[in-house]
Structure 1
Amino acid sequence: MSSPSKTSLSDVSARYPTALLVLIAARLWLSVTDVPKHLQHNQQLSSPLTSYFQLQEGIHLFKNDIDPYSGGSFRHSPLLLSFFATVLPDSRLVASVLWTLGDVVAAWALVQIWRTRQNVVQSSRDTLVAASYLLNPYIFLPTLALSTSSIENALMLLAMMFACKKKASAALFTLSFLLHLSLSSIVMLLPILLLLINDPHSHLASPQPMTKPLRKLWPLFGEFSMYTVVLALISTLVAGSLAWIPQTWGATLTLPDLTPTTGMWWYFFTEMFDHYRPMFLMVFSVHLIIYVVPVCLKFQHDYLYANFILLGILGTFKAYTTLSDPGLFLTMSVIFPETYSYMRHPIVTVLLHLHASLLMPLFHSIWVTQGTGNANFYYASTLVFACANGFALDDAIWSGLRIAIGPSVEGSHVVQE
């Protein structure tokens, strides 16, 4: 019985690099065609905070000694600005290759998270895990549009991978760098800190209360704060002033640009009276944060799963969303196959996502291109998309909790109800 299993493992090992190399080559070929030019301004793939077109505008201003943060339209981090203005040539071809390689790194990080969770060096599921990221249309379409949300996804997976492998400094520095690109990622600070001091292996079926003392978090939080301050000082030196803070971090909290996105903020604040705007901005911002502690407490036996749930919440409710935000959450579900049999409505979730992916570009075209509709058309499609993400979150939370009870007879009645 041992020889067939060894043969199977060797066959998988031989096929795994070949399949991924073919997939990566296809992605690279697609990225250097004219397809990215047609997707670059798509508002479902990039937001005012992640648009490559606005990044190019900021680079042009920066190279001509004009403060890109003085005009109120450039909202990328000074770290990205300095990197693309000095290290890399200002070329769409180079950017396309770099974005694709970023997806490759993200897929590799996801495979490493899967292996660490299963406590194996290699598995037959590695190809599926990597392909689920590289072939997810919610992931590779924003990459083709050169949305910096793809870079944010890669940094997020790297931070989680380092946390699973207990490489604290690497995880905290990566998360700090991500924070400078997207302030909303602060939601992931506590679960990643808890993941650093706890076991990343699967414990959904046998939940146990957390035994590690929380005082171990304080040195890690101090190190993260140090990295954040150092990167903030570097950003200030690059920008020449503190003007980058309200234009980057502040944009996440104040929503100055009401460009339509796949999220739910833009339309709500388009219709909002200015008198009530500060209060609802606070409510929407706090709404993201209030989930962090309850989710970490409920899944204290499996903090990697808590990270997964909070990624779904972040991808659904953050201020400026693109398809890649919920795409990361949906892709990451591939490393939790033990929960699949406990999901209540996976078919409904898939159909809702299919429905929304057809409606959003259609209604956006009717409104913006043809002019035969209005903003209500597109916002209705984003609400369908939000419902799809909500169903996926509900399934993930339910199955993650239900697996501890097991497939009992009483449980089957509860599921049916």
Structure 2
Amino acid sequence: MAIRHYWSMAAAAVGFRLALVLFGGNLHLASRPEVSTPLTSLRRLAEGYWLKQASMSPYSGSMYHGSPLLLSVLGPLTSSKRSGGHHAHIYCSLVFVAVDFLAAMLIRSTGRRLQMARNRSLKSLDLTRSVNSSGLAPLAAFGYVMATHLSLYPAILILPVTLLLGYGPDSPPPKVFLLKGLSASKVGMPENEISTGQRDFRQFAWKPVLHFTLWVFIWSCYVLLLSSIILNNVGGRQEMFEKTYGFILTVKDLSPNIGVLWYFFAEVFDVFRNFFLIVFNMNIVFMVLPLAIRLKHRPCFLAFVYTAIVAMLKSYPSAGDSALYLGLLGLFANELAEMQFTFFLFFGYIGVSLLSPVMHNLWIWRGTGNANFYFATGLAYTCLQTVLVVESVSSMIKHDRKLRLLVKA
């Protein structure tokens, strides 16, 4: 029944997406600031592809700021000559629907693996059979390199991936296993079995990590080589870095989005701009190491937290960023069952989703509002994400603390 229910939900979701693609032209979703950003806009991609076809640099002007690989993969689908004009966006949207469906399948597979590891660890508190690497280091390295190449921010996921390959999937904290060993020694369990279980848990598997690092280097060189070939005679890698990663870090485009940086840098004095750029960009970096130290035994949950923080603090956020970490949230339904403010968060996200288009319409089209109207929804959206991150981390820590108390008792 659960499998049938899952496939019914998946079919309904795909059907809804296809309905929006085929019959949602009047909604103008492609131009909505909640969905389209300077980095994800199909119109900007089409402009970059047209410049490349005209033997000019796709980064000429200030339109395109994406990867040159997208010009070769999605660029032909945006061409009016090949795609039939108004049907161009349909072909690109179908590709996005297929990729999102594949991502859903991968999240489901990850959830099943986490459930198996959770059941084994809670049953016997012995992870010696569930920490083995899956042997997919090349595929993991490819996904990591491509994600970092396309949007830069996934670079911080190197820590969760390393912990996942080294220690295995999420498990109770190490203190639980130490307490289990002490309690087992009191009831007469042989000391060699206790020490073996603890030693296996503490051991870090360096081989898959080194394998992953090697493949990251190989894929990075391959991606840079392909980018150089695509930009041959129409640009170069230095221009690509300046127009993509430099554009992300310097927040040069102040067009409205659901974040808060566009409004802040539109109001800040130019003399303080560089200072606040450093502050906002380092805000993400400063959270990486403390969270990794505290949640090193839960690499998948750590990746979820990093993804949510990036979606909250990145320079050009979109609704797709929230869809990613909210999709990952279901992987930890058991651990986060006692999370507080769930009612507030659920209806808060719905309220922001409804108010954001209204405030944008009052400001841009009707002229009865101002930028503060739309910025207020972005600020509320950021606050909701902050509450979600804080409460989820707090709930996970409480869950681990309860496990220690249960084992100790």
Task: String of CA shifts for 1:206-237, please: whole Å, max 9, x gaps.
Answer: 76697344865455334313322321222122
Aligned with residue 211 of structure 1, among 202, 209, 233:
202
CA contact (8 A) 2:308 2:389 kept: yes
In structure 1, what is the Cα distance between the partners aligned to 2:26 and 2:231? 29
CA contact (8 A) 1:308 1:332 kept: yes
TM alignment of 1:145-184, pairs within 5 A: 165-184=134-153
One-letter amino acid of the structure 2 residue matched with residue 227 of structure 1:
W
* Residue 340 of structure 2 corresponds to residue 344 of structure 1: yes
Partner of 2:191: none
Task: String of CA shifts for 1:343-394, please: whole Å, max 9, x gaps.
Answer: 1221122232223222221111111111222111111111111111111111
| Of 72-81 and 33-42, the range deviating more from structure 2 | 33-42
Change (3 A) 1:377 1:214: farther
Partner of 1:234: 226
TM-score by length of 1: 0.79
- Partner SS state of residue 289, structure 1: helix
One-letter amino acid of the structure 2 residue matched with residue 232 of structure 1:
L
Aligned with residue 399 of structure 1, among 367, 388, 395:
395
Task: String of CA shifts for 1:149-204, please: whole Å, max 9, x gaps.
Answer: xxxxxxxxxxxxxx984411111111101111101111212212221222214436
Partner of 1:106: 103
CA RMSD of aligned residues (A): 2.6
| Of 304-313 and 195-204, the range deviating more from structure 2 | 195-204
Which of structure 1's runs of 4+ aligned residues deviate more than 6 A?
A: none
One-letter amino acid of the structure 2 residue matched with residue 66 of structure 1:
M
Change (3 A) 1:87 1:51: closer
CA contact (8 A) 2:259 2:317 kept: yes
Change (3 A) 1:164 1:372: farther
* Residue 364 of structure 2 corresponds to residue 368 of structure 1: yes
Partner of 1:268: 264
TM-score by length of 2: 0.80
Change (3 A) 1:203 1:376: same
CA contact (8 A) 2:170 2:301 kept: no
| Of 369-378 and 201-210, the range deviating more from structure 2 | 201-210
Change (3 A) 1:19 1:345: closer
Aligned with residue 41 of structure 1, among 18, 26, 31:
31
Change (3 A) 1:36 1:322: farther
Partner of 1:311: 307
| Structure 1 residue 298, shift from structure 2 partner | 0.6
Work out the number of aligned pairs and report it.
357
| Structure 1 residue 60, shift from structure 2 partner | 1.7
| Structure 1 residue 335, shift from structure 2 partner | 1.1
One-letter amino acid of the structure 1 residue matched with residue 172 of structure 2:
H
- Partner SS state of residue 371, structure 1: coil
One-letter amino acid of the structure 1 residue matched with residue 256 of structure 2:
P
Partner of 2:330: 334
Structure 2 stretches lacking a partner, 5+ long: 118-131, 179-200
In structure 2, what is the Cα distance between the partners aligned to 1:258 and 1:208? 51
Partner of 1:67: 57
In structure 1, what is the Cα distance between the partners aligned to 2:16 and 2:92? 16
CA contact (8 A) 1:352 1:387 kept: no
Partner of 2:19: 29
| Structure 1 residue 36, shift from structure 2 partner | 7.4
In structure 2, what is the Cα distance between the partners aligned to 1:372 and 1:16? 45
| Of 240-249 and 226-235, the range deviating more from structure 2 | 226-235
Task: String of CA shifts for 1:3-42, please: whole Å, max 9, x gaps.
Answer: xxxxxxxx44455445533542443233222437611110
* Residue 197 of structure 2 corresponds to residue 200 of structure 1: no
One-letter amino acid of the structure 2 residue matched with residue 211 of structure 1:
R
| Structure 1 residue 239, shift from structure 2 partner | 1.8
Task: String of CA shifts for 1:50-106, please: whole Å, max 9, x gaps.
Answer: 111111111122222221112122111101111123588542221121111111101
| Structure 1 residue 114, shift from structure 2 partner | 0.3
